[in-house]
Amino acid sequence: MTASAEDLAAWVPQQPHDLCERCARINLESLFPIAHPGYRRCPHAWPSSTPKLSTGSRRPPESKADYLRIIEEFVDFDVLRGWVSFCHEHHEHEHDHSHRKQTVRAARDAVQSIRFIDCATRQVVSAPDTDDAYAALSYVWGQGYTNVDFSTALSDVLPDTIEDAIETTSRLGIKYLWIDRYCIDQNDASDKKFQISRMDVIYNRAYVTIVAAAGTNPDYGLPGVRHRSRDAQKYLRIGRYFVFNKIPDAIEEGIKFSKWARRGWTYQESVLSTRRLIFTDDQVYFECPCMYCYESVNSNGRDISSMNFIPHIEGRIPMFESPVVWEVFTRVEDYSQRELSWASDILKGILGVLRNFELGPLQIRHILGVPLFPFNADGRPASLDSMRMQSGNTQSGRYDVAAFCLGLCWRSRRPYHRREGFPSWSWTGWFGPADWRTIQWYHDGVDQGDPSILVRVRLLDKRIIEWADFFESYFQLAPQLSGELLISAWVLDIHFPESEQWDPDTYYESEQWDPDTYYDEVLVSFDGRKKVLWTFDRTSKARHTMRPCIAVRLAYSTSSDPEVCVMVAQEVEGGSFERIGYIVTKDFPIPRQTNGDAVSHVEAW
């Protein structure tokens, strides 16, 4: 006999002996929401059949079957240690690359001034010459929390999240812990800048990262560690079965809607970490490149880690390693949606991720946040040659201007306000998310940057550097960029339709027009007579004047149904231009070509 949850609810008021007798005749496994959306997203966590409910120890069973685990008020650190140690023992060959040795010594060699908290003595110490492991903490600083004065001795009274992280580190058998607020001298601008630029190393080489995904400030604590307990699961035992009153909410809900998941700085802390222990209000979740585990699932790590899946897609938080060159765009898109307390941190908050791409096998560069990947020997962007291209194929690539043009093909999701101090041609210059759907998602989409464009860059000391010379000394010159580009390109003169008398016989509407989206209209004259009404994504929220604009062709598709990506710029004071919008169209004629300086300053701030 089978029954629904409603059937069981109807039976509960019966006498106990009657309840037990009836339950003995039903299939209890049909009563439980063990296949709720959170679990459907990770089918490999349930090997072959509907999981049974555990009747004994909470430790992982040796059989291939998986079981539900009862969530109690406080964390069982034996379980957490089991996850981390299993990964260390069985997955090192998967994610312990030569540039990611997970020891204190390895971190010290890369970041000479790095310090750690000694969890036993509560002292902040310079990294000793040891192969001991260390943990790192990723948490939300919270509004109104100022920098603490640097001290080699921790205060006796610390925020609960900090104390809980120290406790967790010790209970995991790890001696050292890195926490930005206490291990970086916040009043030493030079030291702070250097260590922020090495965030990729610090989190890469941590043995495990402790993630405080619950709460909105460091006083909240890690649920289940010390003071802040979890709601213990209520259950009824019937024979060899447990009947739960509820199963904890899907773990992605606890992560996705947390303050931690919305903050800008925590993004690179999560994606750059190899192992993550994520504390939510309901339970603890573990993830590494080879497996992920729920505290509510009493699973055999060997079975889970043996399943074939794509880690950075299947996991709750994307992993970093990927053979896909255009993965860098996905990273920037994700980060651009996050919140920052200080607008000036927009680039600093993702430099660790970008630096990892720079030093990784794909050798992807960036210009003030705009990704630039090498071209292959055949003159095509490496990322568009194959959706699953192996990284080694790009080693001999060159950084053509055409690749930079593809990076400039980002779209705003709605009009934004300008972010001062950053160029308008970069997504960093605007308050809002950006995406590169034009070059990632179209099956026959834009795949070729305009090879006719010439670009030079201006440094902070006013020197103008040729493109090839800039990349000859990329790592030395990139920090000196002013954000001003000097561009020679194919352009069209365009203007807004309010200044025109409309004549239905001399224009037609572009097929992309959608009156329900955040688009403006621009009227483009092809030959002084025929006109096209274009629609374009407005980058700028400001109302534009009737001054003429230019349309700069950035990239196009080489398919039989070609599309062209166009940046719309308007002249500002000083003869410079500022990006105000973006167009994807099939209606782009052969434009006039400027001389070397006719459209020179495409940016000024």
- 3-state SS, 309-367, equals CCHHHHCCCCCCCCCCCCHHHHHHHHHHCCECCCHHHCCHHHHHHHHHHHHCCCCCEEE
Q: Lowest-confidence range among 11-20, 324-333, 568-577?
A: 11-20
The residues spanned by each domain of the chain are 77-314, 327-593
Q: Quick check: 594 pLDDT over 60? A: no
- Whole-angstrom distance, CA of residue 259 vs CA of residue 74: 22
Which among 452, 439, 474 is positioned nearest to 368, based on CA atoms?
Answer: 474
Over the chain, what is the mean pLDDT? 73
β partners of residue 294: 285
**Beta carbons within 8 Å of 49's beta carbon, 6+ residues apart:** 65
The pLDDT, as a whole number, for residue 406 is 87
Q: Quick check: 153 pLDDT over 90? A: no
List, for residues 69-105, the tens digit of each pLDDT value. Answer: 778 889 999 999 999 998 888 876 555 443 456 778 8
Highest mean predicted confidence (pLDDT) among 232-241, 294-303, 352-361 = 352-361
| Token pair recorded at residue 473 | 């000394």
187-195 contacts, C-beta under 8 A, 24 or more apart: 187/147, 187/149, 187/150, 188/150, 191/113, 194/111, 194/113, 195/111, 195/113, 195/114
Name the strands in the sheet holding 481-488, side by side, starting at the edge strand that comes first in the sequence.
464-466, 454-459, 481-488
The mean pLDDT value for 418-427 works out to: 94
**Beta carbons within 8 Å of 299's beta carbon, 6+ residues apart:** 45, 60, 66, 67, 293
Q: Quick check: 24 pLDDT over 50? A: no
The pLDDT, as a whole number, for residue 506 is 46
Highest mean predicted confidence (pLDDT) among 1-10, 41-50, 373-382, 473-482 = 473-482
Report pTM.
0.78
**Beta carbons within 8 Å of 179's beta carbon, 6+ residues apart:** 117, 136, 137, 162, 165
Q: Lowest-confidence range among 162-171, 187-196, 340-349, 560-569?
A: 560-569
Q: Quick check: 6 pLDDT over 70? A: no
Highest mean predicted confidence (pLDDT) among 248-257, 323-332, 367-376, 505-514 = 367-376
The mean pLDDT value for 310-321 works out to: 46
Q: Quick check: 55 pLDDT over 80? A: no
The mean pLDDT value for 406-420 works out to: 88
The mean pLDDT value for 204-211 works out to: 93
The label of the residue with tokens 């705003």 reads 412
- Whole-angstrom distance, CA of residue 505 vs CA of residue 486: 39
The pLDDT, as a whole number, for residue 525 is 62
List, for residues 250-281, the tens digit of each pLDDT value. Answer: 667 778 889 999 999 999 998 889 899 999 98
The pLDDT, as a whole number, for residue 390 is 42
The pLDDT, as a whole number, for residue 150 is 80
Highest mean predicted confidence (pLDDT) among 24-28, 110-114, 166-170, 538-542 = 166-170
Percent of the chain with pLDDT over 70: 65
| Token pair recorded at residue 84 | 């981390």
The residue type of 144 is: G
Name the DSSP letter for residue 435.
E
More confident call, 338 vs 493? 338
